[in-house]
Amino acid sequence: MLKHVPNILTIIRFFLIPFIVVFALQDNYVVAAIFLILSGITDIVDGFIARKFNFITDFGKLMDPLADKCTQVATLVVLVIQKIIPIWILVVVIVKEFLLVAGASFLYKKDLVVSSKWYGKISTVLFYIAIFFSMVFKQFNLPYTFDTYIYYLAIVFTIFSLVMYFKAFYITDFFKKEK
């Protein structure tokens, strides 16, 4: 039973998404941010448990990053709808994720292992931090906008991670497998 804890935590993250979205759409950004933090904590805990006790599963390899991306995109969509962030941020993230999912699907069919790397994790963490601050600033009508700079940094890491994933998986792994 203990070996299923990381996957259960990943599934819980999917169930947290509607709470984040609904509370943010109702302008209750503090509660939405609390659910976002809870989602982030479950992500950290499930990854720690999976690696520490070698409970890594194919389900977790696929669903854990998907839970991150669904949370991130759903929350960014709400922030665009609420006119808290510009749409171009969402477009960059969606394009990157589409390219990565398409590439990962292609590699998965070729029996190549696709796993997250530090640069992708940094991008995700930066987006979570920026989203959190956007929600807090909006909730309390704070004039600060340093969340914008965190988004810029997250975008830089997003583009960097896309290039690095392309380099690591499409070029290196693909051509090694073909030989």
User: Side-chain half-sphere of 147: how many Cα atoms within 13 Å?
Assistant: 21
pLDDT at 108 (0 to 100): 61
The domain limits of the chain are: 2-178
- C-alpha distance from residue 29 to each of 95, 100, 107 (Å): 26, 30, 39
Answer whether residue 128 shows pLDDT above 80. yes
What global pTM score does this model have?
A: 0.87
Structure token pair of residue 168 = 């690591």
pLDDT at 65 (0 to 100): 86
pLDDT digits (tens, 9 = 90+) for 42-86: 999 998 999 899 998 888 888 998 899 999 999 999 999 999 999
Mean pLDDT of 118-129: 89
Answer whether residue 5 shows pLDDT above 60. yes
Under the banding of pLDDT at 50, 70 and 90, the label for residue 172 is: low
pLDDT digits (tens, 9 = 90+) for 151-171: 999 999 989 988 887 787 666
pLDDT digits (tens, 9 = 90+) for 75-122: 999 999 999 999 999 999 999 888 877 776 666 666 555 567 788 889
pLDDT at 35 (0 to 100): 98
| CATH 1.20.120.1760 matches 2-178 | yes
pLDDT at 146 (0 to 100): 86
